[in-house]
Amino acid sequence: MSKTKKPAATTKAPPKVKARAKAATKPRGKQLAENSLPRPGFAAVGNPPSHTGGLVRVLDDEGCIEQGKDPNLAEDTLLFLYEQMVQVREFDRRMLMLQRQGRIGFYGPILGQEAATVGSTAAMEMRDWIFPALREGAAAMMRGLPLVEAINQLIGNGNDRCKGRQMPCHYTYKEGNYYGMSSVIGTQISHAVGAAMAAKIRGDDVVVLGYLGDGATSANDFHSGANFAAVFRSPCVLFCQNNQWAISVPCSKQSASETLAIKGKAYGIPSVRVDGNDILAVYVVTKAAVERARSGMGPTFIEAVTYRRLGHSSSDDPTKYRDEAEVKEWERKDPIDRFRRHLLRRELWDDAKETALKERIAKAVNDAIAAAEASGPPADETLITDVFAKVPENLKTQLTEVLALEGRRVNDGAFPL
């Protein structure tokens, strides 16, 4: 067991990768046919991924590393990935509770998608940029956005960086190269591709990762973004979280394509499908894609197959449109349970560590909620500040009218999807 100091619950960059002792593996005969597809690492520089059929996996359902696929990650990296997933899940659970209690207005849960977000973000360097969609707030927190700041944003209080002028879950974190998300589906794809092209033109040694959902592959911006990325060899990674639903529309009604990865391939982008509930596979595939982009070989499209286990958002009731049995089936494929089984097999984890981690995270989240709720609302003047170099006279007049309403304003508390 390594004596290396473990990262705290709110740690930033993943530790460096180094060779590890032999992992728990299982005989080849027990592997599923669909898993005998390209090995992690196949996408090393000079050997771009082209696979769009079955899923790339490293861990089987029992948490064993499949024969010949051990990515040899350092113990610190493995524990970092696990702790981050547990933290994301707890944060998610608590924020949804706050929404139900009326303490925040809206929340987009990620339950079931922790491996896809944590694994892909951890595979990037801190100098790289992230253009998120709705379910990648964890990426900002992994890069150092304090939990209290995330909750300030969810509340839209006076300490919120955007002073409540954005919907909840639309975090910004400039210091962490984390771009503010746009609600308009797919727009971040062309932003990510363009930012990567700009970096290339400037000679900056950075890669941009743009997240999108399965539904976003039907949006116009996906097509223009993917085309530009391929033609101009934009140093980006397009990471599609195929959580199988776009609000109430299942993937089967979203696209008639054989897979989503094949859409990337159609644009000339090397594309790969990965088991999005397998954190090691996500990490390794993303790392290879980032290295390709950094070495000037252009974009990669990653389809991470996962599942949105809760509603689209706190405004949604998924029991109205999907079968509970499907949800139960994906509960059994839980990414955290699977990775915990792996760590237990390797004797890197035990019940005492689990209890200590959960206590540490619970305290961190509780403290952050208390600190965020201690802040008052944004000042009324912030309605018109930070937007114009010179505030137009009509807005100044309107602000005066708003200020005169003091004590008579009504908030109906309604939030859109």
For binding to ligand TPP (CB under 6 A), which residues are involved?
Answer: 133-135, 183-185, 213-216, 241, 243, 245-247, 308, 312, 417
Residues that bind Mg ion (CB under 5 A): 213-214, 243, 246
Helices (H), 178-301: 187-202, 220-231, 251-254, 261-266, 279-294
φ, ψ of residue 212 to 5 degrees: the values are -150, 165
Nearest distance in Å: CB 183, ligand TPP: 5
| Rg of the chain taking only CA atoms, in angstroms | 22
122 binds, among Mg ion, ligand TPP, none (CB under 5 to 8 A by kind): none
Q: What are the contacts of 196-200 at 24+ separation with CB within 8 A?
A: 196/129, 196/229, 196/234, 196/235, 196/236, 196/293, 196/299, 197/228, 197/232, 197/234, 199/129, 199/235, 200/232, 200/233, 200/234, 200/235
φ, ψ of residue 170 to 5 degrees: the values are -105, 65
Find, among 120, 113, 130, the residue nearest to 189 by Cα.
130
User: 52 or 243, CB closer to Mg ion?
Assistant: 243
User: 64 or 304, CB closer to ligand TPP?
Assistant: 304
User: 31 or 286, CB closer to ligand TPP?
Assistant: 286
Length of the chain: 417
356 binds, among ligand TPP, Mg ion, none (CB under 5 to 8 A by kind): none
Nearest distance in Å: CB 213, ligand TPP: 2
364 binds, among ligand TPP, Mg ion, none (CB under 5 to 8 A by kind): none
Nearest distance in Å: CB 245, ligand TPP: 6
State which residue has the least CB distance to Mg ion: 213
Nearest distance in Å: CB 182, ligand TPP: 9
Nearest distance in Å: CB 194, ligand TPP: 18
Euclidean distance between CA atoms 266 and 73, whole angstroms: 33
Contact 73, 119 (CB under 8 A): no
Place of tokens 């299942």: 250
134 binds, among ligand TPP, Mg ion, none (CB under 5 to 8 A by kind): ligand TPP
Contact 136, 298 (CB under 8 A): no
Nearest distance in Å: CB 15, ligand TPP: 29
Nearest distance in Å: CB 134, ligand TPP: 5
User: 116 or 226, CB closer to Mg ion?
Assistant: 116
Q: Tell me the two tokens of residue 129.
A: 């940029």
Residue 201: half-sphere exposure toward Cβ, Cα within 13 Å: 7
User: 321 or 381, CB closer to ligand TPP?
Assistant: 321
216 binds, among Mg ion, ligand TPP, none (CB under 5 to 8 A by kind): ligand TPP
312 binds, among Mg ion, ligand TPP, none (CB under 5 to 8 A by kind): ligand TPP
User: 75 or 214, CB closer to Mg ion?
Assistant: 214
User: 276 or 378, CB closer to ligand TPP?
Assistant: 276
3 state SS of 249:
strand
User: 243 or 286, CB closer to Mg ion?
Assistant: 243
If residue 304 lies in a helix (H) or strand (E), which one and from where to where?
strand 300-305
Nearest distance in Å: CB 210, ligand TPP: 12
